[in-house]
Amino acid sequence: MVISVQGQQDGNSTDRLVYLALILLAFAVLAARRFLWGRFIQQNLALTLFLFFCLLSVFWSEFPFVAFKRWVRDMGDYAVLLVILSDPRPLDAMRITLRRLCYLTITLSVVLVKYFPSSGIQYDIWTGAREYVGAATSKNMLGAVCLISGLVLCWDMLLAWPKGKTKRIKLFFAVNATIMAMVLWLLHLSRSATSQVCLALGCIVIITARTQWARRHVRLFKFLMPASFFFYLILNFVFDMNGQMAAELGRNEYATYLRRFVSEAA
Return the pLDDT at 254.
47
Mean pLDDT of the residues in the chain? 83
pLDDT digits (tens, 9 = 90+) for 180-218: 999 999 999 988 888 888 898 888 888 888 888 888 877
- 132: pLDDT strictly greater than 80: yes
Task: Give a three-class secondary structure readout of the chain.
Answer: CHHHHHHHHHCCHHHHHHHHHHHHHHHHHHHHCCCCHHHHHHHCHHHHHHHHHHHHCCCCCCCHHHHHHHHHHHHHHHHHHHHHHCCCCHHHHHHHHHHHHHHHHHHHHHHHHHHCHHHHEEECCCCCCEEECCCCCCHHHHHHHHHHHHHHHHHHHHHHHHHCCCHHHHHHHHHHHHHHHHHHHHHHHHCCHHHHHHHHHHHHHHHHHCCHHHHHCHHHHHHHHHHHHHHHHHHHHHHCHHHHHHHHCCCHHHHHHHHHHHHHHC
Domain that holds residue 68: 1-86
Q: Is residue 216 part of a domain?
A: no
Are 173 and 142 contained in the same domain? yes
Number of folded domains in the chain? 3
Same domain, 193 and 226: no
Residues 228 and 260 in one domain: yes
**pTM above the 0.85 mark?**
no
Looking at 163, 179, 210, the residue that finishes a domain is 210
**Whether pLDDT at 246 is above 60:** no
Q: 81 and 92 in one domain?
A: no
The reply to whether 202 and 156 lie within a common domain is yes
Whether 77 maps to a domain, the answer reads yes
pLDDT at 263: 46
Task: Please return the burial class of 134, using the count of CB atoms within 10 Å of its CB with bins 0-12, 13-18 and 19+.
Answer: buried
- Nearest Cα residue to 202 out of 242, 153, 258: 153
Nearest-angstrom CA–CA distance, 152 and 158: 10
Instruction: Work out the pLDDT band at 251, boundaries 50, 70, 90.
Output: low
Looking at the structure, do residues 32 and 93 belong to the same domain, yes or no? Answer: no
Let me know whether 105 and 146 are in one domain.
Answer: yes
- Same domain? For 105 and 204 the reply is yes
